[in-house]
Amino acid sequence: MCKLKLLIVEDEQAILQGLIDVFVFHGFTVDSAADGQQGLEKALTGNYALILLDVMLPSVDGFTICNKIREQDKNQPIIMLTAKSSEEDIIMGLTLGADDYIAKPFSVRELVLRVNAVLKRNHQPSDENAIFQVGSIQIDMANLVQINSDSPCYFSRRELDILRFLHSNSKRPVSRDELLEHVWGYRQADAIETRTVDIHIAKLRRKIESDPKQPKWLVTVRGEGYRLLR
C-alpha cells in the first residue's frame, strides 16, 4: 500500500518531533521543515497529501506560505496550527484558504482525527463541471470562481462544499454539527470544539451577500442552524 505523505512545518523542535512520531505511528510518510523558507520550498515542489503549517516561523510565516501554496494549487489540503487565543490568526488562516485550523496546545488524538477527516473529504469526487447559482451569483465549480463579476471573486473548495451541502438540504435549516459531520468529515461523537463553521459562513456571506449583516440567501435560523435560500 502506498503511504500518504505529509509535510509538517513547525519550528519548535519538541513539537515537530512529537508530530513526526505520531504520524509515522499512524502510517504516514512524514517530511518536515523547521524554517519558513525551507517549508515554503518543500510545499511548492513536493507532492503532499496534506500540509500541517505553523503560523509563527523563522524567515517566512505560515500565512505567507499558505497564500503562496494557494496561488499555485487550490486543492492542496492545509491545516494551520494557531495559537489558542488568537482569533485573528484563525480567521486569517481560513481566509487564505486553509482547510481547517487547530489551536495550540492541541490534543494529538484530535489532530490525527482532523487530518484523516480532511484527507477523506478530499478524496470524494465533486461535480466539477457544474455551475452553481445563488441569488444572482454564478459560480464555476471547477475553477472556484464567480463567473458574472467584474473583479474575480474566488472561493475555497471548503466554501463550495458548504454551499453544495446547504443546497441539497435547502428545505430545512442545517445545524453546525451536521456541517462539521458532512462537510468536514468530523463525527458528532467526537464533540469537536471549533469555530471553523461560523468563520466560513461569515466569509461566504461577504462573497455572496450584498449586505453580509442582513443576509438574504445564507440565512441563520435561530437555534437551528443555517439555511440556503434560492
User: What is the residue type of 219?
Assistant: V
Contact 149, 174 (CB under 8 A): no
Binding range to Ca ion, per CB under 5 A, among 28-36, 47-55, 152-160, 209-217: 47-55
188 DSSP assignment: G
Binding range to Ca ion, per CB under 5 A, among 53-61, 148-156, 204-212, 222-230: 53-61
Stretch 146-205 residues interacting with Ca ion (CB under 5 A)? none
Q: Does 56 bind Ca ion (CB under 5 A)?
A: yes
Q: Are strands 145-146 and 50-54 parallel, antiparallel or unpaired?
A: unpaired
227 three-state secondary structure: strand
Give the H or E element holding residue 56. none
Q: Which is nearer to Ca ion, 43 or 192 (CB)?
A: 43
Q: Using CB under 5 A, which of 48, 54, 82, 164 touches Ca ion?
A: 54
103 DSSP assignment: E
Contact 7, 46 (CB under 8 A): yes
Closest approach, Cβ 31 to Ca ion, in A, equals 18
Task: Give the binding-site size for Ca ion (rule: CB under 5 A).
Answer: 3
Binding range to Ca ion, per CB under 5 A, among 8-16, 124-132, 133-141, 182-190: 8-16
Please report, as ranges, the residues that interact with Ca ion according to CB under 5 A. 11, 54, 56
